[in-house]
Structure 1
Amino acid sequence: MPFTTPFWGLFDYQLDLDVYREGARTVWEGGSLYDAKLLGQMDYTYAPVSVVVLMPFAWMSFEAARIVWSIGIIVALYVVIMLCFAALGRRATWPLRSLAVGLVAVSMLLEPVRTTIWYGQINVFLLLVILADLLRPDGSRLKGIGAGIAAGIKLTPLIFLLYYALLRRWRTMAGVVGGFLLTMVVGFVFLPSASWSYWTDKLFDSNRVGAPQTLGNQSLRGMIANLAHSDAPNQLLWLTVVLIALGLGMTAAVLAHRNGHELLALSVVGMTSCAISPMSWGHHWVWFVPVLVICVDLVLRTDLSPIRRMLAGAGGVLLVLVAFAWRTHFAYPMWFVNRVMPDAYLMGLFFKAETGPAWAQFFLVYPYNAIFLGTVLATIVVLGRRSAVPDPADVTSVSPRPGKLS
């Protein structure tokens, strides 16, 4: 689809960015952040401190804000990819930088990234903050603060507390808690009423984010809701599935860490947070980007057998195919958030469930959970078979890997 297609073009919507701006403007004008219906019907769902961060965009025109925001996402993607390569032991040579630019283009074809840009979402920026913080070596000054600040904006990064508790990394845990509490303090200082409303009430209403039975809800709860055709999925079933996913995800992450694959460990934890969250839109799954970089790195490694490199390449191709921004055209009027559209172009493999054959719908409604499960199981099988597992205290966060581009 051309970038300039009215409404559906990549840079021609940015609804969520407009919601961020309207939320900040509501606060600036003295309104109630969590009671106001922004743009006529939208709720503000992030923690109060986010308004402090986003306030400069309320002072810009919408056109200026979305240009700055979109460029920022693309730059952040490049930095994320270079951080990933650095964590994999590669030096920042010009061939590597060129490869990173190419991977930015490929990443923009993935539905989570494409939709992040189209909605003007914040996920790539949070991914950057978390990786820049947690990929530093253990013992780095204030490690965990960045992830805690990200959690103070959007709660899901709090899952890293469990990860570091399992690793007994108390200092990093303290950093995450400290960063999170800092955002709460800043919120109460600048927005006391809104902060009280959020932390005592609005936080617990997941329906403010969206209805569970939505194809775009790629969490496990969304999967159950869509398969059961219900907006009230069985709570016991959901909690059971969540505990299983959490156990598998943390097992894979700890194994990856103990074997020196910290980037993989953090990516698995990030994907686990998306899987177990009550609501995870497609654009929350930007953790596919570092997983793709890992696949590319394995393909380029000359110390691996051809079979392993082929398997890594196949895994990367499969990830791209499943997470690709597949377009589904609905040739009838559709109410889309705040307006009626004569037709709709919706992105993501999960929307094929609406038009695909009945036998395939079971598999089409939850493709991102399939990527999560595949990554987790592959990590457990491959790394769990290794006999010599070093103690976590002896493994650094960055493990050098040989390769032609290093």
Structure 2
Amino acid sequence: MVVGANESSRTVATGEQGDIDRDAVLPGERSVTDRMLVVGVILAVAAVLWHVYAIPIDNPFYGLFANGLDLEVYRAGGAVFRDRTGLYDGPVVFGMEFTYTPFAALVFVPLTVITLVHAKLLWALATMLALVLLAGRCLLLLNYRNTLRTWSFALLAAVICSVLEPVRTTLWLGQINVFLILLIIWDLTRPPSARLRGVGVGIAAGIKLTPALFLVYLACTRQWRGLGVATGTFAATIGLGFLLRPDDAYSYWRGQVTSAGRVGAVDSPGNQSVNGLLAQLLRFFDVGRYSSDAAGWTIYQPPTWMWLLALIPVLALGLTAAVLAHRAGRELLAVTLVGMTSACASPFSWGHHWVWLMPLAILAWQYAREAENRWAWLAPAGVFLIGFSWWWTFTDRPPMENSPHPIGIGLFMMPRPDNSVWFAYVTVPIYAGCFVLVQLVTSAVVIRRYCGPVRIPPRKAQPCRLPLTRSFPSNTP
């Protein structure tokens, strides 16, 4: 889906007397053009109009900022942690259980000292800021100059990417994923010698276990210092949970951590992981051998051996592609690949776990700009086509909070025909595994591009705070 757009280290040129020439364009450095800004404004306005009118922004339940259910769960989990009333003993709010670590509940405690209205407002503003920072970080890593024009384009890119289902759902539910992704990308795209590089990965894994796959990535790429810091930080978050709430920590790590059913029905269309893909296929083909009844529902779930048999090749493909991208100096691409692979590996990955599609879309866009073949524009088009937040109305369901049912859903949530029609055998597998498909195609393309002798770039690659030097090093292979 995307191959490596050029990422290289950047420096600031100095004049004869050591004064900084901030307007100097270094070799390989990029500037945001007028055309980029104009197209960006047009697409951003279109995205805003989509949010306002397609799924009306004033809809009391389905509007862009109207839900906030996950934020309420975070806040309730923080309150339970604060009050020592049993974090995993049952639902914390609206019949919803707290599924994150005890350390995550500690992180959410500050949300309990403000009202829910203020918490939702601050969280929405922080999420939008994080999206802009994420887009800006990606552009800087793609060697765009650190200027007002670049950050203006980052704002436009964030608005454009808000039409992606993982991003829209993050805003709609008040999800935390964009903060974790920003933390990981900031952490791992710093120079290898950066102080405490790896601490962001450790904190992210301590909040939500999925980023723990980055520990494997650091080991595969022999980034031992970063691996040590990340592992130590992750262990510290676990230890802090046991220190402050030993009963909750014991309950979580003894059994709650492996219970995917606490997150949702494994065969739910919203489960965009390898495990979810298998479960949905078992349901489609009605393989009763792997079904069970739970609370009046029949749930299909693959056995562990089947899940691992399908997962191991996906892990191998994703990590191999990430290692090759790292060796080629494409650290943003490598980190994005690991992030998508971690979503594939999780027993349950909601669509909003795939906010990694945002940096992928930016990488795909830059790749298309650099490519000589116009067919390269199929890469960003494909990311947006599969990841788009499509409009749908469920006319057979009662209104939620007196709201009609126009809702922004991912391709994976589209109504599926039963197996009595031939095209169901094409559409259902695609719907069930569309995000997994993105990871597989992206990994395969990256491996095809970078497999073979690759010159390892200088270890000083990709600083974002630029040193003052008169030299112009580049890690472009």
TM-score clears 0.5: yes
Q: What's 2:395 paired with? A: 331
TM alignment of 1:234-245, pairs within 5 A: 234-245=303-314
8 Å Cα contact 1:225/1:232 also seen in 2: yes
One-letter amino acid matched to 1:276: A
1:365 and 2:469 correspond? no
Q: What's 1:37 paired with? A: 91
- Partner Cα distance (2:77, 2:439) in 1: 33
Distance 1:319 1:305, change over 3 A: closer
User: Quick one: which of 453, 461, 464 aligns to 1:396?
Assistant: 461
One-letter amino acid matched to 1:354: R
Q: Matched residue of 1:43: which SS?
A: coil
- Which structure exhibits the higher relative contact order, with contacts defined as CA atoms closer than 8 Å and separated by 6 or more residues? 2
User: Quick one: which of 354, 363, 372 aligns to 1:285?
Assistant: 354
Q: Size of the alignment, in residue pairs?
A: 393
- CA offsets, 1:233-273, max 9 Å, x none? 14322211100000100110011011111100000000000
8 Å Cα contact 2:130/2:178 also seen in 1: yes
Distance 1:149 1:367, change over 3 A: same
- Partner Cα distance (2:58, 2:430) in 1: 32
One-letter amino acid matched to 1:363: I
Q: Matched residue of 2:265: which SS?
A: coil
Structure 1's unaligned 5+ residue stretches are: none
One-letter amino acid matched to 1:374: V
Q: What's 2:170 paired with? A: 116
Deviation at 1:391, TM superposition (A): 4.2
1:53 and 2:90 correspond? no
TM alignment of 1:118-157, pairs within 5 A: 118-157=172-211
Q: What's 2:128 paired with? A: 74
Distance 1:312 1:136, change over 3 A: farther
- Select the structure that is richer in helix: 1
8 Å Cα contact 1:16/1:121 also seen in 2: yes
Deviation at 1:222, TM superposition (A): 0.4
Distance 1:29 1:159, change over 3 A: same
Structure 2's unaligned 5+ residue stretches are: 1-54, 284-290, 292-299, 464-472
Deviation at 1:185, TM superposition (A): 2.3
**Taking structure 1 as the reference length, what is the TM-score of the superposition?**
0.91
- Partner Cα distance (2:474, 2:134) in 1: 18
Q: What's 1:381 paired with? A: 448
Q: Which moved more, 1:260-269 or 1:78-87?
A: 78-87
Deviation at 1:389, TM superposition (A): 1.1
TM alignment of 1:67-106, pairs within 5 A: 67-106=121-160
User: Quick one: which of 344, 348, 366 aligns to 1:275?
Assistant: 344
1:262 and 2:331 correspond? yes
8 Å Cα contact 2:457/2:475 also seen in 1: no
8 Å Cα contact 2:315/2:345 also seen in 1: yes
Larger-Rg structure: 2
One-letter amino acid matched to 2:172: W
**Taking structure 2 as the reference length, what is the TM-score of the superposition?**
0.78
One-letter amino acid matched to 1:14: G
8 Å Cα contact 1:299/1:313 also seen in 2: yes
Q: What's 2:226 paired with? A: 172
Q: What's 2:270 paired with? A: 216
8 Å Cα contact 1:332/1:342 also seen in 2: no
Distance 1:209 1:375, change over 3 A: same
